Amino acid sequence: MASKTFIDAIRETLADEMRRDPSVIVLGEDVGKKGGVFLATDGLWAEFGEDRVIDTPLTESMIVGTSIGAAVNGLRPVCEIQFADFIFPAFNQIVSEAARMRYRSNNGYGVPMTIRAPYGGGVHGALYHSQSVEAFFTHVPGLKVVVPSTPYDAKGLLRSSIRDPDPVIFFEHKKMYRSVRGDVPDTDYTVPLGRAAITHPGTQLTVVAYGLMAHYALEAADRVAEEGISVEVVDLRTLRPLDTETLLDSVRKTGKCLIVYEDNRFGGYGAEVAAIVAEEAFDYLDGPITRVAGPDVPGVPYNHVLEEWFMVNPEKIADGIRALAAY
Amino acid sequence: MAVTKRRESHPGEPYGLSDVDLIEMYRLVALARAVDERMWILNRAGRIPFVISGQGHEGAQVGIAWPLRRGHDWIAPFYRSIATCLTFGMSPRDIMTAQYATAADPSSGGRQMPGHYGSPAHNIVSVSSPVATQLLHAVGIALAAKIRRTGQVALTTMGEGSSNQGDVHEGLNFAAIHKLPFVFVVENNGYAISVPAAMQLSVADVADRAAGYGIPGVVVDGADVLACYAASRDAVARARAGDGPTLIEAKVTRLTAHSSDDQQTKYRSAEELVAERGHDALPRFREELREAGVLTDETEARLAAEIKAAVDDATEYAETQPDPDPATATRYVYAETSEGSGASAPSEASR
């Protein structure tokens, strides 16, 4: 089994799916000859041609809105928003149109479309190349939201997303593109949407995380293990639909729940996780549900000292674990 | 040998339209008006809560939809597109069940406000309320048609108020770059609810903007059904030939308030409203066909009876259809049968 980078897994999956299914097309800014600003689509234009790998103008609403139409007329578009920070011009098309098309047409129309978007900070991207925007979309029924953390999951989940009959937003933490490696089989496996993974079994405390934070949670779990704290890490992988079963099973076992996310703390995705745990596992809790999350400032600042201040890291998570474990 | 009545002229001949075509086009204009008028009566009688109307647009809508191939080409309509939808294959029952929001409403099963039509059976894209979003869907449909080599043309239509949205610029630019089989129709009735065109548009005609995309922009009298037909026929032919999109601006009138919740006398003068009646395609097309001998007293009487029967039938049908079952309100947030392996785990269905 080959070890691959996160971005290699994504690029290979796009190529595999385009070979497997002629209805799959890729469109976005610089996705063609250049192969994307992160090279996630490198080689696709050469192999599949300009009909199926389309360099678009700088028009995010058009990228998504046109993908909706193409999906309605028999294609499976995989569109790229160059940075998740730039997804907002397409918000209306995603939320008012893609998410609601099946419901409002009483199952008359569906939108089998995948929107890929690099997100996250820690890469000197400042306010507009660092954002975590998942909470805006996990709020919306009709959308599926996926945030993989390993090359294996990236491949299996991207396959499932492209093959899914409904719109999927697929967030890729850009810091992981080349810093995360992992084993990826050459088989046509899939990872189903809506299934979390226990990536570190433990007994005393559950840490819930996704994306880059799922890695940091593992590092933190290793650190506190030396101090005798046994942590179970739940990597959600899909934020919507949420695998409440795996989440609640873990919390009922450990009795404590810490949620980690990089986005601003207030109203972030972890707030919903906390509410579900409070509603459905209250009797099992031995401490408050707590969060380690990004501070409530409007963006990740550029200066490296300020950026480090903003970013959640393994030590901040370990501190959160220690505080909750001591409760 | 049948005795043919002496004919003054053959209005369809320059367009390649037969008398049968013309009578059917007239029937659709008149049918759309009759359905629409019934909607207002039902609203004022307290039977349906809301009406959004297409009165004054019907001639342009029928003329423009006519050259498209039903069941093959696509239309992404807007909330005034009653005549467009009827021309493209929806029935008066389909329109009326939407007004009553019954379970049998094929557009949305009673989920959407009236006027938000859609029909997969007829390649009519589901309408939403944020305006101009549908232009991008039609452009995407045209993109798929080009990639899949289906020979389909996609047409979208909206008011001139909607035409100011950013999606219009983004979509026209892309459609023009790729010479997509796409037709953009603006039904300019002079008002975006209460705001007159002079305060919405910096140019005299929306069609002027076509030059910015390097595509033809055509202004046509929306009360002239055959002129609308000709403009659309040329645009559809151009699209199908791979020569790219066309912008057609039909100057129409809005004979009613914006909706049943609007009072247009607050912002339109009585004189203006009277004058607008003179720009109505329905009497004009009727006279044109009568003068040409295409529409005889006999034919007109037959059509009137048929239309009344169809509207009565649609009303009675919609009146008796059941409301949607609240137990179905959680259905179709997502697909219920998975395609491939992307299925959601059943336990999370409610999240």
Ranges of each domain in chain B: 13-257+289-323
Interface of A with B in 188-247 (CB under 8 A): 190, 192-195, 240-245
SS3 percent helix, strand, coil of chain A, rounded to 5, is: 40, 20, 40
Q: A245 exposed, middle or buried (CB, 10 Å; 0-12, 13-18, 19+)?
A: middle
Mention the CATH class of domain A197-325. Answer: alpha beta
How far does Cα A270 stand from its chain's mean position? 13
Q: Residue B300: enclosing H or E segment and its boundaries?
A: helix B297-320
- At B9 the pLDDT is 79
B144 touches chain A (CB under 8 A): yes
The three-state (H, E, C) secondary structure of B311-330, written as one string:
HHHHHHHHHHCCCCCHHHCC
Nearest-CA distance A81 → chain B (Å): 15
Do A239 and A146 form a contact (C-beta atoms < 8 A)? yes
Closest CA in chain B for residue A109 = B120
**Of A23, A100, A161, which has the smallest distance from its Cβ to B128's Cβ?**
A100
Which amino acid would we find at residue A228?
G
Q: What is the pLDDT of residues A195-244, one digit of tens each?
A: 999 999 999 999 999 999 999 999 999 999 999 999 999 999 999 999 99
* pTM of the predicted protein model: 0.96
B125 touches chain A (CB under 8 A): yes
Nearest-CA distance B128 → chain A (Å): 7
Cβ within 8 Å of residue A267, ≥6 positions away: A135
- pLDDT of residue B345 exceeding 90, the answer is no
- At A1 the pLDDT is 81
- At B338 the pLDDT is 52
Ranges of each domain in chain A: 2-184, 197-325
A139 touches chain B (CB under 8 A): no
Question: Read out DSSP for B151-206?
Answer: ---EEEEEETTGGGSHHHHHHHHHHHHTT-SEEEEEEE-SEETTEEGGGT-SSS-G
What is the DSSP code (8-state) at residue B346? G
Optimal mutation site among A13, A63, A66, A91, interface B, most CBs of chain B within 10 A: A66
Tokens 């179905």 correspond to: B328
CA distance B98 to B108: 8
A287-292 average pLDDT score: 98
Task: Report percent pLDDT > 70 for chain A.
Answer: 100
B295-321 average pLDDT score: 98
- Residues B309-338: b if buried by 16+ CB within 10 A, e if exposed: ebbeebbebbeebeebeeeeeeebbbbeeb
Q: What is the pLDDT of residues A49-83, one digit of tens each?
A: 999 999 999 999 999 999 999 999 999 999 999 99
Q: What is the pLDDT of residues B38-89, one digit of tens each?
A: 999 999 999 999 999 999 999 999 999 999 999 999 999 999 999 999 999 9
Q: What is the pLDDT of residues B131-172, one digit of tens each?
A: 999 999 999 999 999 999 999 999 999 999 999 999 999 999
- pLDDT of residue A118 exceeding 60, the answer is yes
Cβ within 8 Å of residue B84, ≥6 positions away: B61, B62, B64, B65, B75, B77, B157
Residue B348's pLDDT band (cuts 50, 70, 90): very low
- At B351 the pLDDT is 45
Q: What is the pLDDT of residues A192-204, one digit of tens each?
A: 999 999 999 999 9
- Report which of A297, A253, A168, A150 is spatially closest to residue A210, judged by C-alpha positions: A150
Give the SS3 label for residue B16.
coil
* Chain A residues touching residue B125 (CB < 8 angstroms): 69, 72, 109
> For residue A172, what are its two tokens?
């890729």
The CATH code of the domain at A2-184 is 3.40.50.970
Least confident of A166-170, B107-111, B266-270, B347-351: B347-351
- pLDDT of residue A177 exceeding 70, the answer is yes
Q: Does A139 qualify as catalytic in the annotation?
A: no
**Of B120, B143, B146, which has the smallest distance from its Cβ to A108's Cβ?**
B120
Mention the CATH class of domain B13-257+289-323. Answer: alpha beta
**Of A73, A163, A190, which has the smallest distance from its Cβ to B339's Cβ?**
A163
Q: Residue B147: enclosing H or E segment and its boundaries?
A: helix B133-148
- At A288 the pLDDT is 98
Least confident of B9-23, B119-133, B222-236: B9-23
